[in-house]
Structure 1
Amino acid sequence: MSESPESPEREIFHLLRAVTVAYGLRQAAFASENGLHPTDVRALICLLDAERAGTDATPGALGTELGLNSAGTTAVIDRLERLGHLSRVRDPRDRRRVLLRVDDRAKELGWAYFGPLIHRTEALLRGFDATEAAAIDRFLHGVRDILADDERGADT
């Protein structure tokens, strides 16, 4: 039985999947080389994303983002703090609240490993015109939203 040719949309989906698998492997290698658990790397990414967005990073928000319960979140935070990658600081607006900050050492470690990939990807994107770049941006945001909807159990 021969397979029928796949639609261009399905081929793009498979390519996106291949990219995410390759990037996941890169993250796992980074974790392994630096004595981290893969969840630690995901936690650092979540915290850096919050920092870029100007959003307070709290243990509760991190746990929600990672899909961990309170004990699991505490274990990740404790491990990252012990390794010198993370600090707990008091919220200056509400001293009862704890905020999480990625330490400069972790940022430097990440840039040393992922910086060349980031720079090469940025160079690739500069090869697209504004309309193409907007389409890529719209597509990736759309896929992210579909995944978030799926995670929440939204109907298709």
Structure 2
Amino acid sequence: MGSEPAGMEIVHLLRAVTVELGLHSARFAGRNGMHPTDVRALIALMDAVRADEELTAGKLGAALGLNSAGTTALVDRLERAGHVRRERGTHDRRQVVVRIDERAVELGRAFFGPLIARTLALLEGYDERELAAIRGFLTGVQEAAAEPDSGQPPG
């Protein structure tokens, strides 16, 4: 077996980080009686709040790759657990949007807060140029992974 291309060590580290973050998320889901998709839905809803966007059930389902029945089951399950609520849209009162409940945000903050704090502490060791490089790299990897053909070999 020949030597690996330059950068493969970083690819392997990124894969290891992805696995560890997935395990961390699975522990959160397990401790709170959730399915991993429930956690992804809550993250999508928190991201929407940060972006000042409102998500209908349809938009949430599309973001998670779920069909209509799966989305309805997901939102019903999260609503029964008190993690989300359905409300009229602020921008368009005809729409029903899904909103994350503050209790779900607090639950996530309690579990993920220490990891976030450690990550922020690590980032304090980098200057703005290095942070821009990290940001650019992670954004590029995210975009590459989001490509529909990202699972296909090049060529």
TM-score range, shorter chain: over 0.9
The alignment's TM-score, normalised by the length of structure 1, stands at 0.92
Alignment: residue pair count:
154
Cα deviations by residue, 1:59-115 (Å, 9 ceiling, x for unpaired): 111111100001000111000000000011101332221111110110110000000
Matching of residues 3-82 of structure 1 within 5 Å: 3-82=1-80
Q: Which runs of 4+ in 1 moved over 6 A?
A: 152-155
Return the alpha-carbon distance in structure 2 between the equivalents of residues 62 and 152 of structure 1.
22
Which ranges in structure 2 are unaligned for 5 or more consecutive residues? none
Code of the residue aligned with 2:49 in structure 1: it is E
Return the alpha-carbon distance in structure 1 between the equivalents of residues 153 and 3 of structure 2.
28
Code of the residue aligned with 1:150 in structure 2: it is P
When you count helix as a share of all residues, which structure comes out higher?
Answer: 1
Structure 1 position 152, deviation (Å): 8.1
Which ranges in structure 1 are unaligned for 5 or more consecutive residues? none
Structure 1 position 129, deviation (Å): 0.8
User: Which residue, out of 85, 89, 92, partners 2:87?
Assistant: 89
Output the aligned Cα RMSD. 1.8
Return the alpha-carbon distance in structure 1 between the equivalents of residues 86 and 62 of structure 2.
18
Q: Tell whether 2:117 aligns with 1:107.
A: no
SS in structure 2 at match of 1:99: strand
Return the alpha-carbon distance in structure 2 between the equivalents of residues 144 and 88 of structure 1.
30
The alignment's TM-score, normalised by the length of structure 2, stands at 0.93
Asked if 2 retains the 8 angstrom alpha-carbon contact of 1:51 and 1:57, the reply is no
Return the alpha-carbon distance in structure 2 between the equivalents of residues 26 and 126 of structure 1.
23
Structure 1 position 151, deviation (Å): 5.5
Structure 1 position 36, deviation (Å): 0.6
Asked if 2 retains the 8 angstrom alpha-carbon contact of 1:85 and 1:102, the reply is yes
- Judged with a 3 Å threshold, the aligned counterparts in structure 2 of structure 1 residues 116 and 47 are, in CA distance, closer, same or farther, namely same
Asked if 2 retains the 8 angstrom alpha-carbon contact of 1:27 and 1:41, the reply is yes
Asked if 2 retains the 8 angstrom alpha-carbon contact of 1:88 and 1:98, the reply is yes
Return the alpha-carbon distance in structure 1 between the equivalents of residues 86 and 56 of structure 2.
9
- Judged with a 3 Å threshold, the aligned counterparts in structure 2 of structure 1 residues 151 and 118 are, in CA distance, closer, same or farther, namely farther
